[in-house]
């Protein structure tokens, strides 16, 4: 499943538009000290995610979530409402991994059986960075090239 972590952002919508004004209000309500180059997941999308995860869980499916911004481990590059997304992920038994970009340094962490992988970027470096992720019933294999590390992420029943 793919999440739009620019669903709420200060740069994705034309200045003065309804969505730009709504995003500014949300940004201000969160304290206004978050990075403006980040974004967040809107309420409608959070509701959609909750429904989709519940359905996947009831059907015995495993889910890999993808987005642009990280939600864990905590970083200044994270989606504005990363904690809300992580809460939904933790409530579900079907999420195996959350894979994202945005933080060019990359990152990795696990929390409650979920792998959180931030793929490294190639911006601001002289070296490439990309990967191929192979998905197996009990394993995610990340074959990195350039700056990107390799990972063997075991998918455990939750």
Domain range for residue 110? Answer: 8-115
At 16-72, the pLDDT tens digits run 999 999 999 988 988 767 888 899 999 999 999 999 999 999 999 999 999 999 999
Residue 30 lies in a domain: yes
- Whether pTM exceeds 0.95: no
Distance of CA 114 to the CA centre of its chain: 12
Does 73 reside within a domain?
A: yes
Pull the structure tokens for residue 110: 């696990």
User: Residue 134: inside a domain, yes or no?
Assistant: no
SS3 7: coil
Which long-range contacts (C-beta less than 8 Å, at least 24 apart) are formed by 56-60? 56/92, 56/94, 57/92, 57/93, 57/94
- Does the residue 95 lie in any domain? yes
**Residue 130 domain-assigned?**
no
pLDDT digits over 112-147, tens only? 999 999 999 888 788 899 999 999 999 999 999 999
Domain assignment of residue 43, yes or no: yes
Q: Look up the CATH number of the domain holding residue 76.
A: 3.30.750.180
Q: Is residue 2 situated within a structural domain?
A: no
Residue 124 lies in a domain: no
DSSP letter, residue 80: T
Provide the domain count of the chain.
1
Q: In what order do the strands lie in the sheet with 139-146?
A: 129-136, 139-146, 151-154
Asked whether 97 and 134 are in contact (CB, 8 A), the reply is no
């Amino acid at each position: 499943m793919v999440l739009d972590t620019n669903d709420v952002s200060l740069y994705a919508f034309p200045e003065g538009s309804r969505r730009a004004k709504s995003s500014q209000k949300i940004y201000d309500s969160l304290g206004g000290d978050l990075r403006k180059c980040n974004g967040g997941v809107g309420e409608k999308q959070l509701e959609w995610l909750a429904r989709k995860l519940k359905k996947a869980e009831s059907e015995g499916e495993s889910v890999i979530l993808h987005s642009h911004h990280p939600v864990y481990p905590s970083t200044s590059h994270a989606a504005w409402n990363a904690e809300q997304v992580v809460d939904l992920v933790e409530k579900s038994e079907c999420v195996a991994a959350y894979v994202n970009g945005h933080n060019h340094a990359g990152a990795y962490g696990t929390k409650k059986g979920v792998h959180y992988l931030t793929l490294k970027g190639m911006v601001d470096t002289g070296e490439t960075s990309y990967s191929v992720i192979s998905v197996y019933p009990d394993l995610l294999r990340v074959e990195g090239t350039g700056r990107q590390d390799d990972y063997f992420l075991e998918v455990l029943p939750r």
